[in-house]
């Protein structure tokens, strides 16, 4: 199995198959990072495209041997935050609105409900969302998450466990599962 570093050289040589492989392995993580900041679906798609384009244009700055996924997700996060600052009124990070969404979806217990990721993680702080997303969606190792967030490993573990418990309690409280 190839590592991301192997794909870097291939992408530098305009190998589209290598880019597709990287895209497939990272798209859910990129999406989750952006969706934890931006709500608008079209904006999320645009920002995902922008993330991959910026990644390709910045490949020569990536230092091999470092973790690729955190580097890519940092690009996604920066772009989403820039967008958020520019379009604050259109972006939803509003707890009250999320409360409304939950209420709207709260039907009888036996009915299956399609929750959105944002709704599911609405009880979490930005830090907690980030750790949960990196661990569960991007399947990063805790030590890589700690390194990329510049936090001690023990703290990252603590944040993660606390966050999972919060989501679990929140979902149970709302009887959504």
Partner 1 sequence: MKKNEVKKLIKETALKETPEVFAKIDFKNIEIPPYENKKEIRDTRRRIPRLAWALASVLVVVGSIFTYNYFDQNKTSDIVMASTEEVLGFPIISSSTLLNEFVVENIANLSTSEYLRYGNNNTNENSEEDELLISSQNESLNRYVNMLEILIGDKTNLKYEMNENSNNTYELRYSTIDLIGNSRTYKAYINEIENNQSKVDYTGNISIDNNEYTFEMEQLKNNNAEQSKLRLYYNLENYVEFSDRTVGKKRYYDMSIYYQGVLQEQSELLLTLNKGQVSASLNVSKNGVDSEYIINKQENKIMNIDYTCTSNSITEKGNINIEAKSEQNGQYYYNYLIKSGNATINSRGKRSNK
Question: In whole angstroms, what separates CA 85 from the centre of its chain?
Answer: 18
**Does residue number 152 form part of the binding site for partner 1 (CB under 8 A)?**
yes
State the minimum distance, in angstroms, from the CB of residue 173 to partner 1: 11
Give yes or no for a contact between 108 and 25, defined as CB atoms under 8 angstroms apart: no
Tokens of residue 84, six digits: 């958020």
Q: Which residues in the 43-72 window bind partner 1 by CB under 8 A? A: 44-45, 48-49, 52-53, 56-57, 59-60, 63-66
Query: Which of 71-79, 94-102, 104-112, 139-147 is the region at the interface with partner 1 (rule: CB under 8 A)?
Result: 139-147
Q: Give the C-alpha separation, 11 to 43, whole Å.
A: 26
DSSP letter at 88 equals G
What CA–CA distances, in Å, run from 48 to 72, 93, 100?
11, 19, 27
Q: Longest Cα pair distance anywhere in the chain, in angstroms? A: 55
Q: Is 64 strand, coil or helix?
A: strand
Among 92, 115, 127, 147, binds partner 1 (CB under 8 A): 115
Among 69, 132, 148, 174, binds partner 1 (CB under 8 A): 132
Give yes or no for a contact between 47 and 38, defined as CB atoms under 8 angstroms apart: yes
Q: Which residues in the 71-100 window bind partner 1 by CB under 8 A? A: none
Phi, psi (degrees; rounded to nearest 5) at 63: -95, 115
**Does residue number 122 form part of the binding site for partner 1 (CB under 8 A)?**
no
Among 23, 71, 93, 147, binds partner 1 (CB under 8 A): 23
User: Which residues, including other chains, have CB under 8 Å from residue 16's CB and lie 6 or more apart?
Assistant: none
Among 4, 7, 35, 76, binds partner 1 (CB under 8 A): 35
Among 10, 28, 92, 149, binds partner 1 (CB under 8 A): 28
Q: Is 66 strand, coil or helix?
A: strand
In the complex, the residues that contact partner 1 under the rule CB under 8 A are 1, 11-12, 14, 16, 19-20, 23, 27-28, 31-32, 35, 41, 44-45, 48-49, 52-53, 56-57, 59-60, 63-66, 115-117, 120-121, 132-133, 136-137, 139, 141-143, 152-155, 157-158, 161-162, 164-165, 167-168, 171-172, 177
């Amino acid at each position: 199995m190839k590592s991301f570093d192997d794909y870097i050289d291939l992408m530098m040589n305009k190998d589209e198959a290598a880019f597709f492989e990287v895209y497939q392995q990272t798209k859910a993580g990129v999406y989750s990072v952006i969706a934890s900041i931006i709500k608008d679906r079209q904006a999320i798609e645009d920002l995902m495209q922008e993330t991959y384009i910026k990644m390709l244009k910045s490949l020569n700055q990536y230092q091999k041997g470092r973790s690729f996924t955190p580097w890519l997700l940092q690009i996604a996060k920066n772009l989403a935050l820039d967008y958020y600052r520019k379009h604050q009124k259109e972006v939803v990070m509003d707890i009250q609105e999320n409360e409304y969404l939950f209420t709207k979806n709260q039907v009888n217990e036996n009915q299956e409900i399609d929750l959105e990721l944002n709704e599911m993680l609405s009880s979490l702080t930005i830090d907690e969302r980030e750790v949960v997303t990196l661990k569960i969606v991007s399947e990063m190792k805790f030590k890589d998450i700690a390194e990329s967030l510049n936090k001690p490993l023990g703290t990252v573990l603590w944040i993660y466990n606390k966050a999972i418990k919060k989501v679990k309690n929140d979902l149970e409280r709302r009887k959504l599962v």
